[in-house]
């Protein structure tokens, strides 16, 4: 297993706490006999397996892992949609299942693959709906409405029907609506899924500003490591339902032992990639080369390092 | 952002959904007119068959043509009330929401589930054509029957209509609870029970049936309680020797069972989820 770094957060300022949480699902196995067909066997799938971690208030946590690692299950546990099989989940000091209603007033949840906007109504109508259903005070609504319209550039399509929006516009509107009650904690499940570069930039910049300005606690899942690194300071990696790494991005880079390489371009336009650990040995090798036009030094990206790592975990996809 | 639930809060939410319904209807004049015409034509055509038969043969099942018209008006009013109060977003057809995994959206709202279900289905404008047809038929049939009922009769009519609507919705929630365990298989169970079995059956004067078939239709599959039974009582011909308050007792029992079953289903859903590993889990 991978290196695990324990992050200690002060109790008083804890936004999320998972204590020895496991969540198991059951998968029916194909029948191999009449007895199996009559009484099917089920295999236990540990979506989360004895997971413990906490997130301090004001923290921006990247929650990553390969497909099937348990990321979405965690978000569902945190928002009271599922109960853990064992263990305890506390969010903003409340139990998500037993105190769902007061918790939902303080938390914002966004699933990248789901819609909360009313398809046959303009975005503005969905915003008004949110205000009424959440009982958002007018002053808070007005402030948050102008903030999200401005920073997420929603104004140009504020009166457009939600079903007529592009994916990027829809995600910005979904994010804006989610924030209207000024949540203390935001849970985002793949908010940049399928977005183009511009829409991603807008959402990332906005989330960073929100975290820095209001100290809003944010937990975000994504498969895009560059996005996560740009947004979050801390990353928690899941593998097969277990915490495989918990620390900051520089520690992750160190732990992954990302290789360095020299890219050599020759005068005849051919290219050669030379991996190295020791710069002295590399220089010696380079000095022996002839016809060198250009040398570029690079480090393997986090994405490449994690791809190798996920592949070594052989996680279910 | 207080946690207090009050009647004001309930009416506030109903007003919100009413406004959204009106906004939707007024967005496009052509669409509004087509929607209203569609509602009227669909309702009248679904009722005309039984009425024309009754007219041609001078009555069916011991009921005169005007009495049949009253019963058809009653069933259309019940369907209209269902449409107005539980019509939007599959609130009456809750098995669709459960089967499609859309109940999660409701769990994210800071409101009790029951309040969301009461408020979200409110369609007072786009849902009313069938209701207007139903009330019109009831009034027309009363003229034909030369009845001029007193206030107690009107109160009884309102009570029987409320019982029939609640019976229909309770039936939907009772069957829909199956979708918590088998989402794909039972996603459409509510529309099958309501729209394909009970709804069409409620348009017939069931007194033509032998008792062996009639009793199940006022108990196991209570299509008879949606129009025929209450109409007979209101017209002074109580059937089957059952008490006049039978629809009320039945509806209360059905709701107790539906609430119990739905709560059990919801607990199952929250405990086990409806994930891709479940046999017959969410279709997405």
Residue A7 confidence class, pLDDT cut points 50, 70, 90? very low
Q: Mean per-residue pLDDT for B260-283?
A: 76
For A153, the 3-state DSSP assignment is coil
Domains in chain A: boundaries:
11-29+46-256, 260-299
Residue A94 confidence class, pLDDT cut points 50, 70, 90? very high
Q: Mean per-residue pLDDT for A291-299?
A: 85
List pLDDT tens digits, range A211-266: 988 889 999 998 888 888 888 889 998 888 888 888 888 888 777 777 778 889 98
For A194, A206, B72, the CA distances from B66, given in Å and listed in that order, are 61, 67, 10
| Helical spans, DSSP H, in A135-196 | 138-151, 167-178
- Confidence at residue B260, expressed as pLDDT on a 0 to 100 scale: 96
Q: Mean per-residue pLDDT for B92-116?
A: 88
Q: Residue B274 above 80 pLDDT?
A: no
Q: Which residue of B has its CA nearest to A24?
A: B272
Q: Residue A113 above 80 pLDDT?
A: no
Give the nearest partner residue to A132 out of B16, B24, B270, using CB atoms: B16
Please tell me which of A276-280, A306-310, B73-77 the model is most confident about, judged by mean pLDDT: B73-77
Q: Mean per-residue pLDDT for A295-315?
A: 71
Measured between CB atoms, does A81 come within 8 Å of chain B? Answer: yes
Q: Mean per-residue pLDDT for A156-173?
A: 91
Neighbours of B273 (CB within 10 A): 23
Give the nearest partner residue to B110 out of A73, A83, A104, using CB atoms: A104
Q: Which of B2, B8, B18, B104 to mutate to test the interface with A (most CBs of A within 10 A)?
A: B104
Percent pLDDT > 70 in chain B is 94
- Confidence at residue A93, expressed as pLDDT on a 0 to 100 scale: 92
Give the nearest partner residue to A133 out of B3, B109, B271, using CB atoms: B109
**Residues facing A274 on adjacent strands:** A262
Q: Which of A47-51, A86-90, A262-266, A277-281 has the lowest mean pLDDT?
A: A277-281
Q: How far is B210 from chain A (nearest CA, A)?
A: 40
Measured between CB atoms, does A83 come within 8 Å of chain B? Answer: yes
- Confidence at residue A58, expressed as pLDDT on a 0 to 100 scale: 92
- Confidence at residue A8, expressed as pLDDT on a 0 to 100 scale: 41
User: Which among A300, A299, A272, A270 has a CA at the least distance from the CA of A286?
Assistant: A272
Q: Mean per-residue pLDDT for A111-127?
A: 89
- Confidence at residue B60, expressed as pLDDT on a 0 to 100 scale: 85
User: Which among A279, A241, A243 has a CA at the least distance from the CA of A23?
Assistant: A241
Q: Which residue of A has its CA nearest to B3?
A: A102
Residue B279 confidence class, pLDDT cut points 50, 70, 90? low
User: Which among B272, B91, B93, B106 has a CA at the least distance from the CA of B180?
Assistant: B272
Catalytic position from the list A145, A190, A209, A285: A190
Q: Which residue of B has its CA nearest to A130?
A: B109
Measured between CB atoms, does A205 come within 8 Å of chain B? Answer: no
ipTM score: 0.84
Q: How far is A275 from chain B (nearest CA, A)?
A: 42
Percent pLDDT > 70 in chain A is 94
Q: Mean per-residue pLDDT for A44-60?
A: 90
Pick A11-29+46-256's CATH classification: 3.30.1120.10, 1.10.10.10, 3.40.50.300, 3.40.630.10: 3.40.50.300
Q: Whole-angstrom distance between the N-terminal and C-terminal Cα of chain B?
A: 35
**pLDDT averaged over every residue in chain A:** 85
Alpha-carbon distance of A269 to A80, in angstroms, equals 59
Q: Mean per-residue pLDDT for A21-35?
A: 84
Residue A5 confidence class, pLDDT cut points 50, 70, 90? very low
Q: Mean per-residue pLDDT for A88-113?
A: 91
Q: Mean per-residue pLDDT for A153-179?
A: 91
Residue A146 confidence class, pLDDT cut points 50, 70, 90? very high
CB contact under 8 A, A134 and B109: yes
User: Which among B280, B273, B264, B253 has a CA at the least distance from the CA of B189?
Assistant: B280
Residue B168 confidence class, pLDDT cut points 50, 70, 90? very high
Measured between CB atoms, does A79 come within 8 Å of chain B? Answer: yes
- Confidence at residue A258, expressed as pLDDT on a 0 to 100 scale: 72
Residue B278 confidence class, pLDDT cut points 50, 70, 90? low
List pLDDT tens digits, range B11-37: 999 999 999 999 988 888 788 888 888
Domains in chain B: boundaries:
14-272
Q: Residue A54 above 60 pLDDT?
A: yes
């Amino acid at each position: 297993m991978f290196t695990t770094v324990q992050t200690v957060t002060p109790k008083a300022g804890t936004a999320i706490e998972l204590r020895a949480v496991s969540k198991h699902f059951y998968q029916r196995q194909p029948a191999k006999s009449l007895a199996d067909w009559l009484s099917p066997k089920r295999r236990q799938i540990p979506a989360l397996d004895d997971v413990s971690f906490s997130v301090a208030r004001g923290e921006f946590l990247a929650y990553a892992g390969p497909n099937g690692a348990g990321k979405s299950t965690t978000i569902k546990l945190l928002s009271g949609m599922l109960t853990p099989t064992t263990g305890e989940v506390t969010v903003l000091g409340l139990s998500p299942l037993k105190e769902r209603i007061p918790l939902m007033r303080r938390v914002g949840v966004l699933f990248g693959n789901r819609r909360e906007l009313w398809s046959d109504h303009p975005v503005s109508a969905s915003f008004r709906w949110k205000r009424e259903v959440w009982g958002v005070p007018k002053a808070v609504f007005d402030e948050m409405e102008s903030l999200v319209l401005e920073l997420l550039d929603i104004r140009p399509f504020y009166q457009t029907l939600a079903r007529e929006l592009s994916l990027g516009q829809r995600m910005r509107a979904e994010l804006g609506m989610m924030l209207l009650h000024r949540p203390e904690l935001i849970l985002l499940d793949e908010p940049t899924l399928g977005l183009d570069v511009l829409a991603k930039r807008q959402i990332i910049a906005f989330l960073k500003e929100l975290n820095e300005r209001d100290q809003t606690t944010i937990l975000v899942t994504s498969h895009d490591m560059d996005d996560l690194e740009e947004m979050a300071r801390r990353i928690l990696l899941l593998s097969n339902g277990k915490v495989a790494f918990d620390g900051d991005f520089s520690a992750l880079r160190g732990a992954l032992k990302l290789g360095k390489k020299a890219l050599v371009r020759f005068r005849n336009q051919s290219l050669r990639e030379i991996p190295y650990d020791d710069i002295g040995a590399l220089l010696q090798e380079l000095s022996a080369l002839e016809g060198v036009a250009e040398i570029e030094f690079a480090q393997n990206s986090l994405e490449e390092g994690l791809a190798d790592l996920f592949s070594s975990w052989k996680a279910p996809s | 952002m207080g946690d207090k639930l009050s009647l004001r809060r309930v009416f506030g939410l109903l007003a919100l959904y009413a406004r959204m319904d009106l906004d939707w209807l007024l967005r496009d004049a052509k669409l509004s007119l087509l929607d209203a015409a569609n509602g009227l034509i669909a309702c009248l055509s679904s009722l005309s068959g039984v009425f024309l038969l009754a007219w041609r043969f001078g009555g069916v099942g011991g009921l005169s043509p005007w009495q049949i018209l009253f019963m058809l008006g009653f069933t259309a009013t019940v369907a209209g009330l269902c449409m107005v109060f539980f019509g939007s977003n599959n609130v009456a057809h809750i098995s669709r929401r459960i089967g499609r995994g859309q109940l999660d959206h409701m769990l994210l709202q800071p409101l009790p589930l029951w309040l969301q279900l009461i408020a979200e289905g409110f369609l007072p404008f786009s849902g009313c054509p069938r209701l207007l047809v139903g009330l019109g038929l009831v009034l027309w049939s009363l003229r034909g029957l030369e009845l001029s009922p007193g206030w107690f009769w009107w109160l009884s009519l309102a009570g029987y209509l409320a019982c029939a609507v609640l019976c229909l919705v309770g039936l939907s929630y009772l069957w829909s609870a199956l979708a918590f365990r088998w989402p794909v298989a039972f996603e459409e169970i509510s529309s099958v029970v309501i729209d394909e079995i009970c709804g069409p059956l409620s348009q017939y004067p069931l007194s033509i049936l032998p008792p062996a078939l009639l009793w199940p239709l006022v108990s196991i599959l209570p299509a008879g309680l949606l129009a025929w039974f209450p109409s007979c009582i209101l017209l002074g011909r109580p059937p089957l020797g059952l008490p006049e308050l039978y629809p009320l007792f039945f509806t209360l029992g059905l709701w107790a069972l539906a609430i119990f079953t739905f709560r059990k289903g919801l607990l199952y859903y929250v405990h086990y989820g409806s994930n891709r590993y479940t046999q017959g889990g969410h279709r997405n």
